[in-house]
Chains A and B, each alone.
Chain A
Amino acid sequence: NAGVMQNPRHLVRRRGQEARLRCSPMKGHSHVYWYRQLPEEGLKFMVYLQKENIIDESGMPKERFSAEFPKEGPSILRIQQVVRGDSAAYFCASSRQGAREFFGPGTRLTVL
């Protein structure tokens, strides 16, 4: 059973471009979570999704960030008009209902 998959592993964008980060949950997991980790800091929760629904987006910046988890396909974290401060590692985790989360390897976003 493959773990949580994230791609790309590394993403470089120039200021003002869009970044799309993908997360494929573990088989049988219908809950997806996105976190952001700045250098030398702990993970910060961003958003929690179930298939086609956003359950909790309390950690999501109000502008430029959006997330979706469609019925088919991976979950997508989208950052529009990226700025240097968006440079970070973005981790996705997945779980079954009420069970512990498993984390993916992360996507490292660098904004030039």
Chain B
Amino acid sequence: LAKTTQPISMDSYEGQEVNITCSHNNIATNDYITWYQQFPSQGPRFIIQGYKTKVTNEVASLFIPADRKSSTLSLPRVSLSDTAVYYCLVGDPTTSGTYKYIFGTGTRLKVLA
């Protein structure tokens, strides 16, 4: 499974756009990129998943360049409640469940007033 690298922490202010980049140099052809959010004392929650180019949902956008060796999670206009740890996972959802993905230490986002 592809190893991912993310910044350990980030600070932002309310109302700003936050971009968290994840490196996954050895991503495989069939791998998807998935992002999870985890609040303190809670289990991880699915945010978004993509394979290439751009994916957008009501919560976030995911940008994936053509070589797919990195991806960027974009959170528009963050609020204090977006303070959480964000995990980037890489794996093939058709051959293995999320349980085979590797959760790294994630990126600890702190949103300031």
A interface list, Cβ under 8 A from B: 4, 31, 33, 35, 40-45, 48, 56, 89, 91-93, 95, 98, 100-106, 108
Contact = CB atoms under 8 A, between A and B. Distances in A.
A41 B103 CA distance: 9
B97 A43 contact: no
Contact of A101 (B42, B98, B104, B106): B98
Contact of A48 (B97, B103, B104): B97
A42 B104 contact: yes
Interface residues of B, number: 17
A110 to B, nearest CB: 13
A82 to B, nearest CB: 21
Interface string B11-55: 000000000000000000000000000000111111000000000
B82 to A, nearest CB: 18
A30 to B, nearest CB: 13
Contacts, number: 49
Interface in B67-113: 87, 93, 97-100, 102-106
Contacts of B93: 100
The SS class assigned to the B binding surface is loop
A44 B103 contact: yes
Contacts of A40: 105
Most central of B87, B97, B100, B103 by chain A CB within 10 Å: B97
Given A35-B103, A42-B103, 12 more contacts: A4-B43, A41-B105, A42-B105, A43-B44, A43-B103, A44-B103, A45-B99, A48-B99, A56-B99, A98-B97, A102-B46, A105-B42
